[in-house]
A and B are shown apart, each in its own frame.
Chain A
Amino acid sequence: MNGLRLFVNGVERRTEVRGGESLMTVLRERLSLPGSKNACEQGECGSCSVLIEGALLCSCLVLAEAARDRDVRTVESLAAGGELHPLQRAFVEAGAVQCGFCTPGLVVAAAALLRDNPEPTELEVREALSGNLCRCTGYGTILEAVRRAAREMYTR
């Protein structure tokens, strides 16, 4: 076991990790942050999406020790001060949540999209979310949620 320091959601965190452990495992099993979901362990589903130094990544494909001292933002950081992020609110209201297992990853991916592109076209939204599988919704309500959130975030 090796020591590891990360800055997770703005807080310095230290933990022991085993060689080969992914950041996803460390977040879920060692740092009590189970919001990043484990659905494929090979970067195919996006359920474990996080931002590392601002870049959208699958935490299952990040070797935890290689993220030493990095800034990591998980879904748990989105609702600031207890208030839902506009995307989180839009996901609930647009019916974009069913079983919800894909939802944290989708919300993080959509947040990265709207940060970089406040007015995405529908096709840009689709391309940006193409790494996040959802098995319940058929994606229609997810598109609607992103549309609503973009409106709320960037227009008055």
Chain B
Amino acid sequence: MEIARDLDDALSLAAELPEAELLAGGTDLMVEINFGRKRPDAVVAIDRVAELRHLARNGRVRMGAGVTYTMMLEGGHGSAAVWEAARTVGSPQIRNAGTLGGNLGTASPAGDLLPVLAALDATVLLRSAHAERGVAFRDFMTGPKRSVRQPCEIIVGAEWDDAGPAQTFMKVGTRNAMVISVAGLALVVDRARRRVGVGLGSCGPTILGAPEAERFAAGLFDEAGWERPSAPGEAARREFGGLVAGAARPIDDVRGTAAYRRHVVAVMADRAIARVGAIA
């Protein structure tokens, strides 16, 4: 058990102990340990690394891996979808502990923030003692709880274009709070850059995009004008919803059925484009 003092310390510990588990908020790792599913030989705690708690916004948003959900709810990042996703995470206790980096590191298809990162076309920043690299979020996850992060690498943060206010996140759970996502959807309409982004959670082995739906929606905004609010018609919303649902690759599990996930993703997409369309 090592407690990293600062980022350099964390990186050298990660290099020395490549088998070590990195511990930030503990909301995932400690459950595994408490239930006897993991018994790590080495743990490097990175929750005291101040550099990981930075947040900068200057055309591009750069968020440190140590930023907690509670900090995200305090703002400073300009992303409504990040705010809405952070609010759906667990409970106040969990939001005080859990971090951006932890959500990325666990790489669960149900990670609440991850559909937002997909929709924002975010870049994940990974650093080792020797190098830093950025990986497009869409290339970051390789499967359920698997990612391209190397053992000696630390997720130091993520960055994305400041996409403006037209964005939202929604999540289905069968309880009004403190529930793991049955399905989640993020929609970002970056009016300045004329880009639509969609991210789907709990609908496949990784966070999924919906390229066809994105192209379709971009077409709608091409028509209506990117700069001003618009109200996509019912038929267009339906079609968008159908395209998003078509991108889902859900399964039946204890939390929900594939049929439900497909259905509800279409409903969320329909509502999301109506809401986001109205925001300029």
A76-84, A94-102, A126-134, A137-145 - interface stretch: A126-134
Q: Which residues in A have their C-beta under 8 angstroms from that of B96? A: 55-57
Q: Is the CB of B33 within 8 A of A66?
A: no
Chain A residue contacts of B3, Cβ below 8 A: 65-66, 68
- Other-chain contact of A58, B29, B97, B176, B177 (Cβ < 8 Å): B97
Contact indicator B35/A42 (Cβ below 8 Å): yes
Give which listed residue, A19, A43, A127, contacts B94 with CB less than 8 A.
A43
Write the A54-68 contact mask toward B (1 if CB under 8 angstroms, else 0).
Answer: 011110111101101
Query: Measured between alpha carbons, how far is A12 from B55 in the docked complex, in Å?
Result: 34
Q: A20 contacts the other chain (Cβ, under 8 Å)?
A: yes
Contact of A63 among B30, B91, B93, B178 (CB under 8 A): B30
A15: shortest Cβ distance to chain B, in Å? 14
CB atoms of B30 and A60 under 8 A apart: yes
B192 contacts A by Cβ under 8 Å: no
Report how far A114 CA is from B26 CA in the complex, Å. 26
Q: Is A86 an interface residue (CB 8 A)?
A: no
Q: Are B23 and A61 in contact (CB under 8 A)?
A: no
A-contact 0/1 string along B43-78, CB 8 Å cutoff: 101010000000000000000000000100000000
By the criterion CB–CB under 8 Å, are A66 and B1 in contact?
yes
Q: Does A41 contact B (CB under 8 A)?
A: yes
Contact A130 B92 (CB under 8 A): yes
Majority DSSP secondary structure for residues of A touching B: mixed
B25 at the A interface (CB under 8 A): yes
A1 to chain B, nearest CB (A): 12
A122 within 8 Å of B (CB atoms):
no
Provide the residues of chain B in CB contact with A56, threshold 8 Å.
92-93, 96
- A26 contacts the other chain (Cβ, under 8 Å)? no
Q: Does B242 contact A (CB under 8 A)?
A: no
- Per the bound structure, the CA–CA distance linking A38 and B114 in Å amounts to 31
The interface size of chain B toward A, counting residues with CB under 8 Å, comes to: 28
- B92 close to A109 (CB less than 8 A): yes
The answer to whether B94 touches A131, judged by C-beta atoms less than 8 angstroms apart, is: yes
- Contact in complex: A61, B26 (CB < 8 Å): yes
| Cβ-closest chain A residue relative to B91 | A131
Contact B30 A22 (CB under 8 A): yes
Docked complex Cα distance between A56 and B91 (Å) = 10
Query: By the criterion CB–CB under 8 Å, are A61 and B31 in contact?
Result: yes
Tell me, rounded to whole Å, the shortest Cβ–Cβ distance linking B91 to chain A.
2
Known: A63-B1, A63-B45. A22 touches B93 (CB 8 A): no
Given contacts A41-B31, A42-B31, A130-B177, contact A58 B94 (CB under 8 A): yes
When C-beta atoms are compared, the residue in chain B nearest to A48 turns out to be: B93
A132 to B94, CA, bound (A): 11
Which of A22, A44, A46, A61 is the one whose CB lies under 8 Å from B97?
A61
Provide 18 A-B residue pairs closer than 8 Å at the C-beta atoms, listed in order of the A residue.
A22-B33, A22-B34, A43-B27, A43-B91, A43-B93, A44-B178, A46-B93, A56-B96, A58-B97, A61-B27, A63-B30, A65-B43, A66-B23, A109-B92, A109-B93, A130-B91, A130-B177, A131-B90
A49-B93, A63-B33, A63-B43 given; 19 more Cβ-contact pairs under 8 Å: A20-B33, A22-B30, A41-B34, A55-B70, A57-B97, A58-B93, A61-B25, A61-B94, A62-B97, A63-B1, A63-B23, A63-B45, A65-B1, A65-B45, A66-B43, A66-B45, A127-B92, A130-B91, A131-B92
* Interface, chain B (partner A; CB < 8 A): 1, 3, 23, 25-27, 29-31, 33-35, 39-40, 43, 45, 47, 70, 90-94, 96-97, 176-178
- 9 A-B pairs closest in CB distance: A131-B91, A130-B177, A66-B45, A41-B34, A65-B1, A61-B30, A42-B31, A61-B26, A58-B93
